[in-house]
Structure 1
Amino acid sequence: MPTPISGFSKLTKEEKINWLATQYSTESKSTIAILKNYWNSDTNLQQLHDEFIENTISNFYLPLGIAPNFLINNNLLAIPMAIEESSVVAAASRSAKFWLERGGFKATILGTEKVGQVHFIFKGDSKKLTTFFGKIKPVLLSSTKHLTQSMEKRGGGILDIVLRDKTDVLPDYFQLHCTFETKDAMGANFINSCLEQLAKTIKDEAKKYSSFTQIEKEIEMVMSILSNYVPNCVVRAEVSCPIDDLNVKADITPIAFANKIVRAVQIANVEPHRAVTHNKGIMNGVDAVVLATGNDFRAIEAGVHAYAAKDGYYRSLTSASIKENIFNFSIELPLALGTVGGLTSIHPLAKLSLEILQKPSAEELMQIIAVAGLAQNFAALSALVTTGIQEGHMKMHLGNILNQLEATVAEKHILTKRFSKETVSHTAVAEALKDLKNN
């Protein structure tokens, strides 16, 4: 039975590992060896990684792959993708090659506005609060000048502050709804610092406001925090081509293929169970590039899925249509990203990924990531409406199965060649490997 520990964070990395192995592992020597095996031999690089988070004991690696041949707004790019799931990079690459020969992807920024809110409780006359806010709004803005000056020089800053009365959903609940432009920074620290200053200022000003009663002067600040829901920080990506150019497989006509894609998207628009998996496939492409560039995939996931349900019903993030014999396929995504600050500036592979992408601005990175999501969805739908998703996926997954079964290099070579013409399943591969070992 493990025992609680005090002062764990003060232990050295070696001491943390030894304690963990002793308390929570039946094979302590093996546990220690595995953790140390994933340390970087470059001590300076390892120290850098150790300092990203607290209580670091080792590194957890993800493969970094490249999906080439992405033509985006007439720029040819190779997209770095950090992901562990088989077939994602291959699918993206396949889509990129397909659309490269049909004019490539077009992407447009629809907005870059980010959001933060000051949540507070006001027990009093809401009309008096509205009047008070109107008088002190210039004071609120001026109180943040020491925080916004640098951002304003880059063309960013606080765009607006709006008082919102939310008492219809929660008694005495109000908020300052603030919008920001943060240019190439994701801007979380900037936004949160501004919000905390705004909260302090409104609280201080309320105490001096003569029209408030004593109770009204005591505004209760609940929290000040950015929102990861950014419905006005949106990018659109799209592809289109004549129907006759959709010659994906010999056994299906281009018009039949186009109609199947349109119908698949329609289903994802009316059936939430399908929509969730449909959008998860999109996020395979999105998250892989978000991770590779040192951005926050949890924030992106939360914001994107909220956007998919913005009208109160969870729907597809992509759209497909046929008009005048032209097939159109598009996506709109809310993406709050950064190309400066945070891990983008200090993680060596994140910096390299941005360099491979030709050092994009935040807006350009929004376009690239939206395209990756659209490409992923096109590949998934193309497989689903023709051969099915498993044929290609399981062939890519074959290597993982062989590793699980501890096949040798020679055995992997033989079985990879064999299953290039056979259906891949865990059972079939296990039986084939058993027969190979017995002969």
Structure 2
Amino acid sequence: MSKRVQGFSKMTKEAKIEWLTNNYFNNPDEARQTLQKYWHNDPKTQQLHDEFIENTLTNYFLPFGVAPNFKINDKVYAMPMAIEESSVVAAAAKAASFWYDRGGFKSEVVSTKKVGHVHFAYYGDYNKLWEFFNSVKDRFYADTAEITKNMRKRGGGIVDLMLINKTFEEPNYYQIKATFETVDSMGANFINTCLEQFANTLQEAVSESDIFTEKEKDIQIIMCILSNYTPECLVRSEVSCPVEFLETDGVSAEEFVEKFERAVHVARIEPYRATTHNKGIMNGIDAVVIATGNDFRAIEAACHTYASRSGQYRSLTDCSVEDGMFKFWIEVPMALGTVGGLTNLHPVVKLAHELLDNPSAKELMGIVAASGLAQNFGALRALVTTGIQQGHMKMHLLNILNKLEATNEEKEEMKKFFKDKVPHYNMIVNKFCEMRGVSSVEELKK
């Protein structure tokens, strides 16, 4: 059967599954059953999920959990987290509890501006274009007045417009850089709609002017698009306490702080370590961003670009010890929304927002930043004391046992056995085989 298909998006979901399973699976019936097993029992709920994207076949489940005891700006949260990695929620909860009695997390939004660009080519004198642009700038605001009306009512809108000359990097390349305030919405559609109108206004205004030659009037719009790099939409979160309050896992407070600070500095200067360091931060950030229906790919991209702003990829967190006080903080770009997108559609996303007391976008920025800081603290605390594998592999133990199809009784027995040990894969498998009275995994399958 041919794997080329015409009109796939117009097929019914059942027809899509039929074609896909017959063409790509050795056991089509089993594949169909697996896909249908994850359909929602309520047809209306399933239809809602089907319409989020094109060509939906089934639902892909992620665990949705909570990390309690997050004290952020003196308010206590149960942090919603959607993630598949075993130890993330446990580490976040442990860090939240650790800092609960040490003052909790303090989050502050530094700024909330977002940026988009009209990228275009102009074949003429830059000075002439610059003077003209500034003389007609009010027209850009006027031509988008209807688009921005509702946003302006909520306190947002267009903050600034600038003409940027990039011809030193690419011949004839210019930008209109637009800065926006989008209040509680992430604002992607709003920004892109404004940018496309700016492009129309630019071309119309130039064509109507008598100061440009015919060649100069031939402005080529390359593209109009928001930027997911948001260094002016910035949030900071920190924890602090006297050094003597940081004795942990049998390590003295002084030794812990010295090793912790050095571990952070390593991530500031070594990109290999910084990448893993920041990946751990994103474990905490992404889990809350996904749970609240926001775009984790955009947040990831912005954070990693921000980590490279000095010209070298560095840690997103830093720490200091001054006058006996330990301070640990994160500063990250965080363009989030609490209205629009999935926030008003996905039932579990709505639940997550309610769990957080329906925060504003600014409040959510602080909550998410605190989650990333907590995750990083938990990872560094483990690394400089017991080692990362003790906690991680104990959480991973259940995944391995599920793969081995262990019963609930066998899982409990295995958890007791590994209570004071650091398990690794072969050790777990060998112990399980011993418990079952077989010599190898192959015998388990018989």
TM-score with structure 1 setting the length: 0.99
Specify the code of the residue in structure 1 equivalent to 2:378: A
Aligned to 1:75: 75
Q: How does 1:301-380 map to 2 (within 5 A)?
A: 301-380=300-379
Distance (whole Å) between structure 1 residues aligned to residue 163 and residue 232 of structure 2: 18
Alignment partner of 1:226 is 2:226: yes
Distance (whole Å) between structure 2 residues aligned to residue 256 and residue 209 of structure 1: 71
Distance (whole Å) between structure 1 residues aligned to residue 2 and residue 347 of structure 2: 37
Unaligned runs of 5+ in 2: 439-446
Native 8 Å contact 2:236 2:329 kept in 1: yes
Aligned to 1:15: 15
| CA shift for structure 1 position 2 | 4.6
Distance (whole Å) between structure 1 residues aligned to residue 2 and residue 357 of structure 2: 50
Secondary structure of residue in 1 paired with 2:215: helix
| CA shift for structure 1 position 236 | 0.4
Alignment partner of 1:29 is 2:34: no
Aligned to 2:441: none
Secondary structure of residue in 2 paired with 1:108: strand
| CA shift for structure 1 position 3 | 2.1
| CA shift for structure 1 position 286 | 0.1
Distance (whole Å) between structure 2 residues aligned to residue 2 and residue 239 of structure 1: 59
| CA shift for structure 1 position 135 | 1.3
User: What percentage of residue pairs aligned between the two structures are identical?
Assistant: 54
Specify the code of the residue in structure 2 equivalent to 1:260: K
Q: How does 1:269-288 map to 2 (within 5 A)?
A: 269-288=268-287
Q: Which string of whole-angstrom CA distances, capped at 9 and with x for unpartnered residues, describes residues 87-139 of structure 1? A: 10000000000000101110111000000000000011001110110111011
Q: How does 1:133-144 map to 2 (within 5 A)?
A: 133-144=133-144
Q: Which string of whole-angstrom CA distances, capped at 9 and with x for unpartnered residues, describes residues 51-71 of structure 1? A: 000000000000001000011
Alignment partner of 1:158 is 2:154: no
Specify the code of the residue in structure 2 equivalent to 1:80: P
Secondary structure of residue in 1 paired with 2:179: strand
Secondary structure of residue in 2 paired with 1:256: helix
Alignment partner of 1:403 is 2:389: no
Secondary structure of residue in 2 paired with 1:221: strand
Distance (whole Å) between structure 1 residues aligned to residue 258 and residue 343 of structure 2: 41
Distance (whole Å) between structure 1 residues aligned to residue 349 and residue 11 of structure 2: 29
Aligned to 2:260: 261
Native 8 Å contact 2:21 2:28 kept in 1: yes
Specify the code of the residue in structure 2 equivalent to 1:383: A
Secondary structure of residue in 2 paired with 1:321: strand
Native 8 Å contact 2:249 2:386 kept in 1: no
Alignment partner of 1:4 is 2:1: no
Secondary structure of residue in 2 paired with 1:393: helix
| CA shift for structure 1 position 423 | 2.4
Specify the code of the residue in structure 2 equivalent to 1:401: I
Specify the code of the residue in structure 2 equivalent to 1:113: K
Alignment partner of 1:168 is 2:164: no
Native 8 Å contact 2:195 2:224 kept in 1: yes
Aligned to 2:217: 217
Q: Which string of whole-angstrom CA distances, capped at 9 and with x for unpartnered residues, describes residues 309-339 of structure 1? A: 0111110000111000000000001000000
Q: Which string of whole-angstrom CA distances, capped at 9 and with x for unpartnered residues, describes residues 233-286 of structure 1? A: 000000100000001122x21011011111011000110000000000000000
Distance (whole Å) between structure 1 residues aligned to residue 372 and residue 3 of structure 2: 46
RMSD over aligned CA atoms reads 0.8
Native 8 Å contact 2:116 2:192 kept in 1: yes
Q: Which string of whole-angstrom CA distances, capped at 9 and with x for unpartnered residues, describes residues 350-378 of structure 1? A: 11000000000000000000000000000
Distance (whole Å) between structure 2 residues aligned to residue 325 and residue 390 of structure 1: 31
Native 8 Å contact 1:2 1:24 kept in 2: no
Q: Which string of whole-angstrom CA distances, capped at 9 and with x for unpartnered residues, describes residues 36-56 of structure 1? A: 000000110000000000000
Specify the code of the residue in structure 1 equivalent to 2:12: T
Aligned to 1:435: 434
Aligned to 1:110: 110
Distance (whole Å) between structure 2 residues aligned to residue 316 and residue 76 of structure 1: 27
| CA shift for structure 1 position 410 | 2.2
Aligned to 2:412: 413
Aligned to 1:383: 382
Secondary structure of residue in 1 paired with 2:314: coil
Specify the code of the residue in structure 2 equivalent to 1:25: F
Secondary structure of residue in 2 paired with 1:61: coil
Specify the code of the residue in structure 1 equivalent to 2:429: A
Unaligned runs of 5+ in 1: none
Specify the code of the residue in structure 2 equivalent to 1:261: F
Distance (whole Å) between structure 2 residues aligned to residue 319 and residue 145 of structure 1: 43
